[in-house]
Amino acid sequence: MLKLLQTIIFLILSQQLYSQGRDGNIAIDLKKIEENRVYYSNEVSVKAHFPNGESGWEKYLLTHSKYPKMPRKDKAIGRIFLSFVIEKDGSITDAVVTRGLNNKCNEEALRLLRSSGNWVAATLKSKKVRSKGNISIGFGLN
């Protein structure tokens, strides 16, 4: 599913990056493609992270998370796995649930991630780059 989504996004973005010149040749802006590339954590010098690292993320979750109100029969316990992009400015985009519990818990996990503020962007050769992030949020777990 993630590969399909990445392919669709690539095709949409590539439509804007290719232009046809007056002579009928297609010009490809490789610099723009490279600037918009999303790197995986094993491809960067310094990985993107939440300010103050893992302990900062845990503190943020403790102070901002709320277990959603729902009927007792619908209550769920477990982890929600999220995938997202950390932009060069540290903002979070393209957040999606890759494995969830139920709609209300999934929405709360997305809300927490999207409202977490700016992260510290990944760097490659001392230059900030867009990178892929994956995280899990536990509900009803100690």
Report the percent of the chain where pLDDT is more than 70: 83
Output the pLDDT for position 69.
72
Cα separation, 30 vs 32, whole angstroms: 5
**Which strand (E) or helix (H) includes residue 19?**
strand 18-20
Pick the range with the lowest mean pLDDT from 7-16, 40-49, 61-70, 77-86.
Answer: 7-16
User: Does residue 102 sit in helix, strand or coil?
Assistant: coil
User: What pLDDT does residue 116 have?
Assistant: 93
d(CA 63, CA 58): 9
Domain boundary assignment for the chain = 1-36, 38-139
Distance, in Å, from the CA atom of 137 to the CA atom of 78, rounded to the nearest integer, reads 8
Tell me what pLDDT residue 16 has: 55
Mean pLDDT of 28-44: 84
Residue 86 CB coordination number (10 Å) = 27
pTM exceeds 0.95: no
Q: Topology of domain 38-139, per CATH?
A: TolA/TonB C-terminal domain (3.30.2420)
Share of the chain above pLDDT 90, in %: 52
